[in-house]
């Protein structure tokens, strides 16, 4: 099985788009399964998918797991919109919705200014 995923291949059931071992407990009756799943899954906006395809950005399962961990850290600090830097890729992530808004490759990072973020997480 190929451990490298391109953004167009991400779907429920694909490694990296799952809860990654997180459990949901203390749910109230009537809580929709979709709501529980959405609160744990890393999502990509249409804009982010387009940018990743254009820039040839692919993310491995281990990288997706690290990004999810970075989002958890940012959420714990109360972040809303965070810059997540992982190796040679930078992403703007809306933390409450766990959605990657856009992605930038290493070549395009030089001389960029990131605005409207309230936090940054650097992961290796």
Q: Where are the domains of the chain?
A: 32-123
Is 57 in contact with 109 (CB distance < 8 Å)?
no
Regarding pTM above 0.75, the answer is no
Phi, psi of 40 (to 5 degrees): -120, -15
Q: How many residues does the chain have?
A: 124
Distance (Å, rounded) from C-alpha 83 to C-alpha 109? 12
Is the predicted pLDDT of residue 16 greater than 70, yes or no? Answer: no
Provide the 10 A C-beta neighbour count for residue 93.
30
In the prediction, which pLDDT does 111 show?
Answer: 87
In the prediction, which pLDDT does 3 show?
Answer: 43
| Helix (H), strand (E) at residue 121 | strand 119-123
């Amino acid at each position: 099985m190929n451990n490298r995923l391109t953004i167009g291949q991400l779907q429920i059931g694909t490694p990296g788009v799952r809860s990654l071992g997180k459990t949901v407990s203390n749910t109230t009756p009537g809580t929709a399964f979709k709501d529980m799943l959405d609160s744990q899954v890393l999502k990509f906006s249409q804009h982010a998918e387009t940018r990743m395809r254009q820039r040839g950005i692919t993310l491995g399962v281990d990288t997706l797991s690290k990004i999810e961990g970075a989002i958890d850290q940012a959420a714990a600090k109360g972040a809303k919109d965070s810059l997540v830097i992982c190796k040679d890729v930078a992403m703007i992530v809306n933390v409450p919705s766990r959605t990657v808004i856009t992605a930038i490759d290493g070549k395009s990072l030089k001389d960029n200014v990131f605005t409207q973020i309230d936090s940054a997480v650097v992961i290796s």
